[in-house]
Structure formats: C-alpha cells, structure tokens
Structure 1
C-alpha cells in the first residue's frame, strides 16, 4: 500500500491530492491566476487534513514536472522537494501532458468508438506556440514526443489526413483558430485543466516500478528556457 501526496502547478491554477494506491482520498483545486504562489501550502495542508492522515503517513511526494508555466513549475517542484527533504520521503515526477491525456482517456473511449483516435494535450506557450504531444486514445501509448510547436494551417496535416485527433488543454484554442474546420480535428467543449488527481494515479505506477527522482538534482521539465519580458517605457 502506498500513500502519495501529489502536487500540480503547471498552469495558472494549482491542485493537490492524496491517493491510497489508486483510490482518491482527498482533492483540492484552484484555477485562477497565481493561485500556486499564494495557496499551494494551504491546499496541501487541507488535503492532508481531509484525508484523515498526517504528513508522516505519506509514503511519497509526486509532482507534475512540466512542461508548463515556468513560475508555476518552479513553485510546485520547489515545494515538493522541500517536503521530500523535511519528511525524508522519495520524489516522483509525472509529465504534465501525459497526465492531461490520462484525464481525457475515459472521455475518448465513450465517443467515436469505431475510429482510431489520437489525443493531443496542449498547454499554452507564447504567441501561436504550444507544448504538446500525441497519445493513442485506447492505451495512452505515446506516439510523438513532448515538444514546443508553432501552430499554423499545416500543423498535424499528415496525421489528420488519415486519423482523428482530439485537441484539448488551455493551448487548444490556438489550434482551433486554424484547424477548427478540419473534419478530423476534434475539440472538447469542456475545459480540461491539469489535475493532481491524474498525477497521483500515474505516480502510483511509477512508485510500484521504483522510478524515483534524485531529490537534490531534480529540476522541472521547462522544455524551453525562460524568457523574461521587459515592460515598455
């Protein structure tokens, strides 16, 4: 049995969860700007209290490693590492896009069951750029790597010629602007935000396999270097 505390801060919101193996014991989520910087510690304390456990009962800390917001990832990973050092617990890291794909997995199975579907989680980057990857909808096998991609009318053209792709995440709106009329490009109506709920489920699999991170050396998966903006004078 494993008790895992999960942290997700890849985008403008943040969430925390506690799982016992694959059973969700507690979940707290906030989806508004800069919530990770001001509320993350409060959410962590809340899920521990709601679960009826204490910090010493936790077997591992899991965190969304990115890609995503530079600031959000830095806060989440720093918090996770601090808990690992303080509690002497191992660290697990989960790709944010993989966790997003997991969240849509059950939705995809309920529609277009006769089609071969691909899942494309997208996180907003700068301008017309997104962080994305492609996964098989039926088994979540990854078929294209995590990448930063500029979206235009030719994006995914070769794949869309023969297969349907479900696009989702806070970067999908950019894709819909240019590919929204393509017969094989599907867009979910509901907003899909990264959640500690899926981070915890994927982290449990990593826990069973002993796929722990080196706490001292671990860094977020920024994918791109941070570029600060200077206000115009």
Structure 2
C-alpha cells in the first residue's frame, strides 16, 4: 500500500491531497493569493487527522514543481523537502503543466479524442504564459516554454487539431485565439493536488525519486523582483 501526500502551490491555488494506492482519500484547497504559507501546514495536519494517520504513515511526498509562481513554488517545495528530511521519506516531483493535463484527462465530462491536444497555461505576465502541449494520452508533444501569445501562436497545431486551452493563463488568451474554430477554452479550471495522483503513484512504483538535498523548483525563468509603488 502507498500513502502519498501531494502538494500543489504553483498558482493562486494552495492545495493538498492524500492518496492511498492511487485513490484520493481526502483533499483540502483554497484558491486565493498570498495565503499559501499561512495554511499549507494546517491543511496537511487536517488531512492526516481526518484519515486517522500520522506523518510516519506517509510513504512519500509529491510536489508540483513548476513552472509557476516563484513564491508559491518556494513554499510548496520547501514544505515537501522539510517533510522528506524530517521523516526520511522520498520526494516525488511532477511538472505543474503535466499535472494539469492529467487533471483534464481524468475528467470524464470532457470529450477528448485522438485528434485533441491539451494546452495547460499558467499566467506569467502581460500576454506571456507558461505552456506546453499534450496529446490525448498525456504525452508531451510540445515542450514547456514561456510564450508571448499573438494571432499566430499554435497555428501549426490549430490547423489540424482541436486544442483545449485551460488554466489561469488561458483566460487572457481567449480574445487572441478564440476566433479559431479549433481553439476551445475551458473556464474555471483550478490547479489541484488531486491532479498529481496518477503520476505520483507511477513514479512511486518506479522509484523515480528526487535528491532531496539538491532539488529545486522548475522556475523556467529567473525571478525578477518588482519595486513596491510609493
């Protein structure tokens, strides 16, 4: 039996899930800016108490590792690494965009066929997004990149495929790409630790673990601090 604690803090969503043998037993999340550090450890305590488990009952900790919010990623990865060090448990890292794609693939209400591509998008700034493309089986067909979206974005794929755009970066792209009949936008998608479940248990079974001492979030771009307005 595998008991995996899953942490997602790459966007405005702060989410924690507890998966037992690849099935989510409990989860807790809130979609609000600048609240991650305040609630993440409380959420973890609540999940373990609800499940009647202790920290020592965990077999591994999985974390959404980016790209995404610099601060959010630091909080999530630091929490995961701290638990791994303290409990001597393995660390599993899952790219945020990949987890988002698996979240859509697991939603039976969304029609997906072999000609459908998935494009998870995370808001960067202005018209820039972090994004990638996945096929109907969750295989990456276009690597993760920081893209500035314009009228020609994804044109080579939109000519022959329906693309589902989703995530907090997709909303601002709809006005630019929405006129294409092959572009479909999925509203109200929220990143969740639940989306890590399938890849987390696969990596656990294959012993695909990170070096806790040296692991860092996947920022994709260097952090640039802004100046506070006077």
Q: Secondary structure at the match of 1:5?
A: strand
User: 1:93 maps to which residue?
Assistant: 93
Match of 1:143 among 141, 144, 149: 141
User: 1:123 maps to which residue?
Assistant: 122
| CA shift for structure 1 position 232 | 3.9
Q: How does 1:65-104 map to 2 (within 5 A)?
A: 65-104=65-104
| CA shift for structure 1 position 50 | 1.1
Go from structure 1 to structure 2 and tell me whether the alpha carbon gap of 1:54 and 1:112 turns closer, same or farther (over 3 Å shift): closer
How far, CA to CA, are the matches of 2:192 and 2:228 in structure 1? 32
Q: Secondary structure at the match of 2:189?
A: coil
Q: Give the alignment's TM-score, normalised by structure 1.
A: 0.95
Q: How does 1:189-200 map to 2 (within 5 A)?
A: 189=187, 191-200=188-197
| CA shift for structure 1 position 200 | 2.9
In the TM superposition, what whole-angstrom CA distance separates every residue of 1:149-175 from its partner, at most 9, and x where no partner exists?
A: 110011001111111100000000121
Q: Which runs of 5+ in 1 are unaligned?
A: none
How far, CA to CA, are the matches of 1:207 and 1:10 in structure 2? 21
User: 1:17 maps to which residue?
Assistant: 17
User: 2:217 maps to which residue?
Assistant: 220
How far, CA to CA, are the matches of 1:85 and 1:109 in structure 2? 40
How far, CA to CA, are the matches of 1:202 and 1:34 in structure 2? 27
Contact 1:151–1:174 (Cα < 8 Å) also in 2: no
Go from structure 1 to structure 2 and tell me whether the alpha carbon gap of 1:231 and 1:187 turns closer, same or farther (over 3 Å shift): same
Contact 1:133–1:144 (Cα < 8 Å) also in 2: yes
User: 2:33 maps to which residue?
Assistant: 33
| CA shift for structure 1 position 109 | 7.4
Go from structure 1 to structure 2 and tell me whether the alpha carbon gap of 1:131 and 1:9 turns closer, same or farther (over 3 Å shift): same
Deviates more, 1:102-111 or 1:154-163: 102-111
Q: Give the alignment's TM-score, normalised by structure 2.
A: 0.96
Q: Which runs of 5+ in 2 are unaligned?
A: none
| CA shift for structure 1 position 24 | 1.1
Go from structure 1 to structure 2 and tell me whether the alpha carbon gap of 1:112 and 1:43 turns closer, same or farther (over 3 Å shift): closer
| CA shift for structure 1 position 21 | 1.4
RMSD between aligned alpha carbons?
1.4
User: 1:133 maps to which residue?
Assistant: 132
How far, CA to CA, are the matches of 1:105 and 1:69 in structure 2? 24
How far, CA to CA, are the matches of 2:108 and 2:127 in structure 1? 26
Contact 2:23–2:197 (Cα < 8 Å) also in 1: no
User: 1:60 maps to which residue?
Assistant: 60
Q: Secondary structure at the match of 1:41?
A: helix
Contact 1:66–1:222 (Cα < 8 Å) also in 2: yes
Q: How many equivalent pairs are there?
A: 230
| CA shift for structure 1 position 111 | 2.2
| CA shift for structure 1 position 51 | 1.4
